[in-house]
Amino acid sequence: MSVGSRLNTLLEQAPVVLPSLLLCDFGNLEREIDRLEKADTKALHLDIMDGDFVPNLTYGLPIVKALRRLTDLPLDTHLMISRPERYIDAFHQAGADMITVHIEATDDPSAVLRQIRRLGICAGIALNPKTPLSAVEHLVTDCDLVLMMSVEPGFGGQTFDPTVLKKLKMARELFGDRTVLEVDGGVNEETITECTRAGAQLMVAGSAIFGRPDYKSAMEVLRTKALQA
């Protein structure tokens, strides 16, 4: 299945909850993926942090490669790293189906987005809570999705910033249906309905899933709440 088809398949099922593996048990990665697949997960969100662009260091290429061996689910790869253009090809080769970079992390985001698209995979642009929507408006024709951070990037389990809801609504009005909207940070059963109501199609959730004993029921609760928009 082509990457474009994979993205379209996700959108046909929108709103979609994407588990962020930041809080998963990496000592039992195969078991974690099995539990998520049994919970009818549609795609996995990978938070790649370099300790430079954000004040945290997570995982990198070896984990992406391992995940690609473990699952056929689309890998939504969120690069929270400085100068991401240096690693686009490597993450593609590791198995990423979607690569999102931060506008704040590169001097030429348009060039990076074109670099991603040339590989035939989904290109996304992310912006931090304090970055205005106008900063990415000129990039919409170069990307497939816009990811809105609803927390300051770096650590899981943070409190949702409700100002992202206004951004989502503005983005949907400005960009129409041609751009996929994703939200990441503090998404849980209390906040997810407002996210979908504001226009988000892909919702990244971490502690709302991995902080629960039963992933399947946690995912079902989030999906139900998302559909209430």
Query: Of the residues 40, 47, 177, 214, which is catalytic?
Result: 47
Query: Of the residues 76, 97, 144, 184, which is catalytic?
Result: 184
Return the axis-axis angle of helices 61-70 and 29-38, rounded to nearest 10°.
Answer: 50
Instruction: Kindly state the average pLDDT of the residues 196-225.
Output: 96
Q: Is 108 a catalytic residue?
A: no
What backbone phi and psi angles, to 5 degrees, belong to 184? -140, 120
| pLDDT higher at 136 or 56 | 136
The per-residue pLDDT for range 14-35, each reduced to its tens digit, is 899 999 999 999 999 999 999 9
Predicted local confidence at residue 153, as pLDDT: 83
Instruction: Kindly state the average pLDDT of the residues 197-225.
Output: 96
**CA R_g for the chain:** 16
What value does the mean pLDDT of the chain take?
A: 93
Predicted local confidence at residue 1, as pLDDT: 46
The per-residue pLDDT for range 144-202, each reduced to its tens digit, is 999 999 998 876 667 899 999 999 999 999 998 889 999 999 999 999 999 999 999 99
The per-residue pLDDT for range 65-114, each reduced to its tens digit, is 999 999 999 999 999 999 999 999 999 999 999 999 999 999 999 999 99
Instruction: Kindly state the average pLDDT of the residues 129-145.
Output: 94
Give the span between the Cα atoms of 189 and 15, in whole angstroms: 14
Give the span between the Cα atoms of 189 and 71, in whole angstroms: 26
- With H, G, I as helix, E, B as strand and everything else as coil, classify residue 115: helix
Query: What domains are there in the chain, each with its CATH number?
Result: 3-226 (3.20.20.70)
Buried b (16+ CB within 10 A) or exposed e, 192-215: bbbbbebbbbbbbbbbbbbeeeeb
Q: Is 47 a catalytic residue?
A: yes
5 confidence band (pLDDT: 50, 70, 90): low
